[in-house]
Structure 1
Amino acid sequence: MRKFTKIAVVALVLLLAVSLMFGFAKTKEKVLYSSIPEKIKGFDPTVITDLYTATVGGNIFEGLFQYKYLSDIYELEPCLADGMPAVSKDNLTYTFKIKKNISYYDPEKKVFKNGKGRAVVANDFVYTLLRLGDPNNTESGGWWLFDGFIKGFDVWRDAAEKNGAADYSKLPEGVKIIDNYTFSITLNTPYPQILYCFAMTFTWPVAKEVVDVYGEDWINHPIGTGPYALDHKQTIVDNQFVLTRNPYYRNEYYPREAGEKAKSLGLLKYAGKKLPFIDKLVYYVIEETNPAWLKLMAGELDIGGIPKDQFAKSITPTKDLTPELKEKGLTLDINPTLDVTYEFFNMDDPILGKNRKLRQAISMAQDRDKMIQIFYNNRAIKAQTVIPPGLGGYDPKYVNPYGVYNVEKAKQLIAEAGYPEGKGLPAFMYTTLTSTTSRQMAEFNKNNWAQIGIVLNIETCDWPTFLSKIDTHQVQIGGIAWGADYPDAQNFLQLLYGPNKAPGPNAANYDNPEFNALYDQFKVMGESKKRNELYSKAAKIAAEDCPWVLGVHRESYSLVYNWVLNYFFRDIGYGYSKYRDIDMAKRDAMKGKK
């Protein structure tokens, strides 16, 4: 899932956290306040490719599966599905059953006049799949999930493209609706990650009636099955998103089982209690890290990250909170994250895309150690390949020869590329966001690369515009990050797979036949030593080809107020707010101390 490389983002958003204002009068209503660092796109599941839209939308929509909240690892469990699917002996046909007690909730009562909508049925999941594959749905970013896998789906997509419109009345050969609450998918080849796909945003079910009633504007009127719904009266687009409790939410309960870490934190006290516990969620859009920090310090957010400029004042040399922050009621939670940051070259560019030594030279001119010190307060490690630690295929002994900061070697490479001291090269355009930190990181790159004669011009835009520019191949060089959608290195390697070019997740439009051949080989393989070896080999090919200037794998430092209950770090998945609660008495007591 795409995210930007803003420093406090890891803690601020990955945790899908909640927050609460000190300044409000005491109330029995439980309202929790959170923040996201960028403007969000509309709520069409098939186009939600970024973390921030998914963070909010994950409370409104749900998928067939979700991740176990208190597990030590990332394990799937049924959400809208009635159990795990039946799988044929050849691992090609998956039959999914849907729970029968689930209904849509329409808070505006324009599609479903009584608010409580009809039951979710198999056709809703199929409809979402078809929208994902519809080539006329030009913004769809999730086609890569099923491209080449579902029997007849590519044929269906090709026919839609040829005819100029998709025929939703005709299903692909491999998609069957068995009854109202059962559908099946038949694959061309084994697909080890397919169940993860049904825990992602792209496969959240959508009622066709919503699209029919609102037309193109339906993305601003999300109607889902989740524990919360968008409150249109209180929501101010680009400023704050307010979600209120779904009064028709089904009977779902807090987990009764937990991993060792969650047990040690005492997180089973709520076992068996009906979800959710919070009445209202508010997500502020705060694009600068320092204003978010001030709100956190004022008690106007429950949880947040630590901006780079505040780190030394907040964390002791022993990686503990300062006494002042502890006195406020804050606690520190430190966790590694499954992510990677990178600067990408548009490989369609006639200069950057065709000159490997030029890209290698730029990569060697990047001072990652200084970057980690300045922008991450040493809360990151250098990325040697696209694969982060903790996933199969990660090689702790590998050192990327072009990830070493060596200006003299970089000068030699750029001369071998045909541009000694950068002479003969045009200025390149670097696209980034408007925030202070984003601009500072762009200037850092500009100064680094200037050492070998590279001239960068910098343009800024908001997050939705940035994503749109990437999807339409309008970014020459840009910086971004990727957080794991599921716990498998394939989810990172697909960022470099040729057929996944933008508007797919391959922002660099990288297309290396050797890499692609390895990807085609391992994408149908189950977990094994051989698959990990292929993962590692492909990652090293891309690392040395340099379609990216690899950045870092980050560590999350989160500040959590002690009135937030049932808090547990989750790096993958959405909708975790339903498990959390707030100690109203403790909050009011802290408010009184202020």
Structure 2
Amino acid sequence: MNLPRLLHLFLIVLIFLSLSLLPGYATGAEKESQSADPIRQGGIYRTPLMNNPSTLDPAYVEDQYGVTVVQQIFDGLVKFDPYLMVLPALAETWQVEEQGKVYRFVLRKNARFHNGRPVTVQDVVFSISRLLRVNPPPVILPHLLKIKGAQDYRNQKIEQIEGLQLINDRVFLVRLEEPHAPFLTALGMHQAKIVPKAEVTQLGKQFGQNPVGSGSFRFVSWEANKLIVLERFSDYYAGPAFLDEIHYVVYPGGKIEEVLGDFRGRKLDEMPVYGNIRQELLAEKRLRWFHRPSLSLLFYGIRTDHPFLKNPELRKALSMAIDREKLVKQVYKGQFEPARTILPPGMPGYHPQNRMFLDDISLARDHLKRALGEKVDSMPPLEIVSAIQSPFARAELGFVRESWARLGIPVKIKYITDWGQFKTYLRSDAVQIYRYVWFADMPDPDSFLFSLFASDSPVNFMRYQSKEVDQMLRSARSIIDPVKRAKMYRRIEALVLKSSPLIPLFYLSIDRVYQSTVQGVQPNALGAHTMSLHRVWLKTLPPN
């Protein structure tokens, strides 16, 4: 095991050891150890989706709603365990050769797609090759472009990738241009799920509405904005799931009050917890509570090339005018930690010295004066767009509006609760400021800083541009030494914060509540949306 791997493990262990210090919560492992009930097979698991996914094709999924479902339908070559260790999935084993430039993968003999066909290296090569030409490009594209010949393939100069070599139906090699530390971890991300070549070729864009994977659950039906149904895949290589079906009940626009009502009525087996949900449910008996620190950030992105917002002094004023401590306490009952950095605590590269100035209305006014002089009164209303219209989101947005009103800046709030339309709006020239949550796909600072701020990133809706930052991001990926790599990412974060293209508000935690019948859940620090339900079971079967 090499030094970067040891540092990774040390950081993850620190995160999870801290869980034992949180009163009133329990980890999945602790809860399961307390249950002596025999595992029961069967039942329908009902869980909420706070918005309708735009697609279930893993190559095109960009939102956590789609990721939640994709995690059950598809498998990748590797996967993450609850402690974010990289484990075998469709790849039974792998070897790293030539000092990190070559990976030799061996597929499982008994891995099959839901149509009964075996998973072959042809499907794997097709899946990886397909990602290289997907538009908009997936977040993991920079890692895949390290494969020899991948860039020429993406540019359509060649039709076969030199770095993907088939040995037989179960063994293949991946040859990189140079050693690249995040490559194997990137293969555990949802975009890298393996898809069947024949079905994708036949269905084209319709594959995202009728997905076929090799995961522990198979797709049954999808009624847009209402319900997605999955059923157990009996031929799953790791053994059939305990549950008969999963029903994803969709609540467009994040209607948390409806979710709460359905959970209380036992129409749902779980729900997210934030704001006053915990207080609402404290009187309920025999519920199961889960709390995890997460690698995530809720922020307001600012379109840096907008005529009203291109001055960094104005962006700093907007950020400093928000009292984050008061916001979290007033709206979310102190559940989250106020954020003044981009990288969350627990992420390699996080450093408290990169903290932004404390919330200070006087400093905010100074920055505003430098930006606008005496023209504050002529400032047109700023628009904040949100995909969520829950009471908590409305209260949070109202708090921000009041904060900016103290600067003399009026605010209009726009809600676009259809996720696909929301993402389209973020790519348009109409967007000014948007409310967004970013979850790390893997425990690597690259998944935050490159994804959000690289000039060519598909989710850089802030349109942040910096040649210096782009060069540093590229250099950081080739640094093997973990201390030097973390130091580089700290410098990158400091440069980005200096320009203030976003307003970090708070780091999220993973807080879920489950009915007393639910067993086997183990969310990890990447978020509950990344958890497989393969080993989840119901102690008492609920009525259908």
TM-score range, shorter chain: 0.7 to 0.9
Is 2:207 the counterpart of 1:207? Answer: no
Distance 1:307 1:496, change over 3 A: closer
1:410-430, Cα deviation, whole Å (9 max, x unpaired): 111111113436244333332
Match of 2:245 in 1: 280
In 2, are the aligned partners of 1:392 and 1:489 still within 8 Å (CA)?
A: yes
Match of 2:302 in 1: 345
Match of 1:325 in 2: 284
How much has 1:370 moved relative to structure 2?
2.1
Distance 1:427 1:28, change over 3 A: same
SS in structure 1 opposite 2:124? helix
How much has 1:296 moved relative to structure 2?
1.3
Alignment of 1:171-570 (within 5 A): 171-232=160-221, 235-250=222-237, 252=238, 274-286=239-251, 287-314=254-281, 322=282, 324-326=283-285, 329-353=286-310, 355-401=311-357, 404-420=358-374, 422-433=376-387, 435-437=389-391, 438-461=393-416, 462-471=418-427, 474-501=430-457, 504-570=458-524
1:318-374, Cα deviation, whole Å (9 max, x unpaired): xxxx3x222xx2122222111111101112324423x11111111111221222113
* Greater Cα offset, 123-132 or 58-67: 123-132
Match of 2:155 in 1: 158
In 1, are the aligned partners of 2:453 and 2:460 still within 8 Å (CA)?
A: yes
Match of 1:93 in 2: 102
Using the alignment, how far apart are the partners of 1:51 and 1:78 within structure 2? 23
Q: Which runs of 5+ in 1 are unaligned?
A: 1-14, 16-26, 107-115, 161-166, 253-273, 315-321
How much has 1:575 moved relative to structure 2?
4.9
Using the alignment, how far apart are the partners of 1:132 and 1:28 within structure 2? 37
How much has 1:243 moved relative to structure 2?
0.6
The residue identity in structure 2 corresponding to 1:283 is Y
**How does the TM-score come out when normalised to structure 1?**
0.79
How much has 1:406 moved relative to structure 2?
1.6
Count of residue pairs brought into register by the alignment: 500
In 2, are the aligned partners of 1:289 and 1:307 still within 8 Å (CA)?
A: no
Distance 1:470 1:517, change over 3 A: same
Using the alignment, how far apart are the partners of 2:303 and 2:141 within structure 1? 19
SS in structure 2 opposite 1:90? helix
Superposed CA RMSD: 2.4
1:168-215, Cα deviation, whole Å (9 max, x unpaired): xx2233232332222222222321111111111211112222133323
1:90-139, Cα deviation, whole Å (9 max, x unpaired): 31122222112112113xxxxxxxxx2x21111212222222221xx434
Match of 1:264 in 2: none
Match of 1:130 in 2: 129
In 1, are the aligned partners of 2:139 and 2:451 still within 8 Å (CA)?
A: no
Match of 1:31 in 2: 44
Using the alignment, how far apart are the partners of 1:304 and 1:434 within structure 2? 16
Distance 1:574 1:187, change over 3 A: same
How much has 1:68 moved relative to structure 2?
2.2
In 2, are the aligned partners of 1:494 and 1:505 still within 8 Å (CA)?
A: no
Using the alignment, how far apart are the partners of 2:495 and 2:62 within structure 1? 26
How much has 1:457 moved relative to structure 2?
2.5
Q: Which runs of 5+ in 2 are unaligned?
A: 1-27, 29-39
Distance 1:145 1:125, change over 3 A: farther
Is 2:75 the counterpart of 1:75? Answer: no
Using the alignment, how far apart are the partners of 1:199 and 1:102 within structure 2? 17
* Greater Cα offset, 470-479 or 457-466: 470-479
Using the alignment, how far apart are the partners of 2:441 and 2:213 within structure 1? 21
Question: In percent, how many aligned pairs have the same letter?
Answer: 22
Q: Quick one: which of 58, 78, 87 aligns to 1:45?
A: 58
Match of 1:260 in 2: none
Match of 1:268 in 2: none
How much has 1:397 moved relative to structure 2?
4.9
How much has 1:454 moved relative to structure 2?
2.5
